[in-house]
């Protein structure tokens, strides 16, 4: 792996080619300023789950506070050179270090095809545009598709860059206005392809969990309005990456065995299969996770429909789901591996009573009647046998509680 001195000397490298942009002429102050930034920084650490990756020499963090680096840069170059390089900007009437560096713990260098420093980016944007960086990736441009991962956190930037992905910042998307959105996502006849295809991960790569951050949710809500209410073709430029549970597990497994090539391959496959429009992604993320209560409500809806036409297949599936959640959340709470023989016996009896109680619930019995081929039986009108069974069950539960208390 190349050292940070290789970056400072603009030496070509395989890592640089992964993050290369089209070769272009840059003013000398840009390269001079970025070399100084390199000298003032060091490779950034990776999240614990990704420590097996070698930290990318392109992702950096300052050795000293940004304020100290700012003063040091002013001793090395003139203010005009720093402004020309966009390493310094004017904000609030003051000339200061760009937000790309000053407001983010980590940043990444961008190299051209010759391995020369040409740009820098972070979750706060890039040197060309730190207000709305995605303006650099216009839909109106034609040419080969080039995917870029929109990294909303420092950890995303460091991991995706280390894995060889090209990255960009989603800065400004959560506050995007309608007029600007119309420019960014022009509603024009589609001819040719777009130059860049932006991908917004809606999962947490740092800990390998299917959990979208609040920042990503805010972006999705804004983009959904543009796509649904204004009819803008947001999905032509930007897709949301939402891995399936199986895909996420495949990525976890490959990261666990520290196989970089296999991990990248699993991610590429997931991107190909599981990128969605902002509308579909937000709908999936806001869908409440299924639990015992949700499964029980679903069973109740099926029973209401079965009053007109019995639906034994649907009810059987819903009943199986309710039983599975009840067993997980209630039955399995009784500790079967208790070493004390008496406590183990009590837990076993408790589990059996809990199971019996479940089977005597009105909707469970009604569902079973539909599965057996009839309309939902009305168990609200109690008969003697049902009352007797419930009284016996209540008596057994009382005896169990009294035994536990006395013990």
- DSSP string covering 299-366: HHHHHHHHTTS--HHHHHHHHHHHHHHHHHHTGGGS-TT-SSHHHHHHHHHHHHHHHHHHHTSHHHHH
Q: Which residues contact 326 (CB under 8 A, 6 or more apart)?
A: 292, 358
Q: Are 94 and 101 in contact (CB under 8 A)?
A: no
Give the residue among 103, 33, 105 at the shortest CA–CA distance from 75.
33
Q: Average pLDDT of the chain?
A: 81
At 359, the pLDDT band (50, 70, 90 cuts) reads confident
Q: Are 160 and 167 in contact (CB under 8 A)?
A: yes
pLDDT confidence of residue 401: 64
pLDDT confidence of residue 226: 93
Helices (H) and strands (E) in the chain, counts: 18, 12
Range in 11-20, 77-86, 113-122, 306-315 the model is least confident about: 11-20
Q: How many CB atoms lie within 10 A of CB 405?
A: 7
Mean pLDDT of 248-274: 93
At 263, the pLDDT band (50, 70, 90 cuts) reads very high
3-state secondary structure of 197: strand
pLDDT confidence of residue 141: 45
What's the pTM?
0.66
Q: Are 118 and 110 in contact (CB under 8 A)?
A: yes
- The tokens describing 402, both together, are 């009294």
Range in 189-198, 228-237, 372-381 the model is least confident about: 189-198
pLDDT confidence of residue 137: 73
């Amino acid at each position: 792996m190349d050292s940070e001195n290789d970056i400072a000397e603009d030496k070509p490298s395989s890592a640089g080619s992964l993050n290369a942009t089209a070769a272009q002429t840059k003013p000398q102050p840009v390269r001079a300023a970025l070399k100084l930034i390199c000298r003032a920084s060091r490779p950034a650490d990776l999240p614990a789950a990704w420590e097996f990756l070698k930290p990318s020499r392109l992702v950096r963090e300052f050795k000293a506070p940004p304020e100290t680096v700012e003063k040091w840069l002013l001793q090395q170059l003139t203010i005009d050179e720093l402004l020309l390089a966009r390493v310094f900007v004017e904000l609030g009437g003051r000339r200061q270090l760009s937000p790309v560096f000053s407001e983010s713990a980590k940043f990444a260098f961008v190299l051209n095809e010759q391995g020369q420093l040409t740009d820098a980016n972070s979750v706060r944007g890039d040197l060309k545009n730190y207000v709305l960086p995605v303006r650099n990736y216009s839909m109106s441009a034609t040419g080969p598709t080039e995917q870029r991962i929109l990294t909303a956190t420092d950890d995303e930037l460091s991991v995706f860059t280390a894995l060889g992905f090209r990255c960009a910042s989603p800065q400004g998307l959560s506050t995007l206005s309608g007029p600007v959105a119309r420019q960014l996502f022009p509603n024009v006849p589609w001819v040719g392809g777009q130059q860049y295809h932006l991908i917004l991960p809606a999962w947490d790569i740092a800990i390998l969990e299917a959990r979208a951050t609040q920042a990503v949710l805010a972006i999705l809500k804004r983009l959904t309005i543009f796509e649904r209410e204004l009819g803008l073709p947001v999905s032509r430029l930007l897709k949301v990456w939402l891995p399936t549970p199986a895909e996420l597990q495949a990525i976890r497994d490959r990261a666990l065995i520290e196989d970089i090539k296999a991990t990248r391959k699993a991610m590429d496959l997931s991107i190909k299969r599981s990128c969605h429009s902002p509308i579909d992604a937000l709908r999936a993320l806001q869908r409440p996770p299924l639990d015992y209560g949700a499964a029980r409500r679903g069973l109740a809806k099926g029973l209401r429909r079965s009053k007109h036409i019995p639906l034994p297949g649907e009810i059987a599936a819903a009943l199986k789901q309710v039983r599975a959640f009840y067993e997980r959340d209630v039955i399995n709470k009784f500790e079967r591996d208790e070493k004390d023989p008496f406590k183990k016996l009590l837990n076993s009896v408790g589990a059996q009573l809990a199971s019996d109680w479940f089977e005597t619930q009105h909707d469970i019995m009604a569902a079973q009647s539909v599965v057996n081929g009839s309309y939902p039986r009305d168990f609200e009108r109690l008969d003697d046998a049902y009352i007797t069974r419930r009284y016996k069950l209540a008596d057994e539960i009382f005896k169990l509680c009294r035994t536990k208390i006395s013990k």
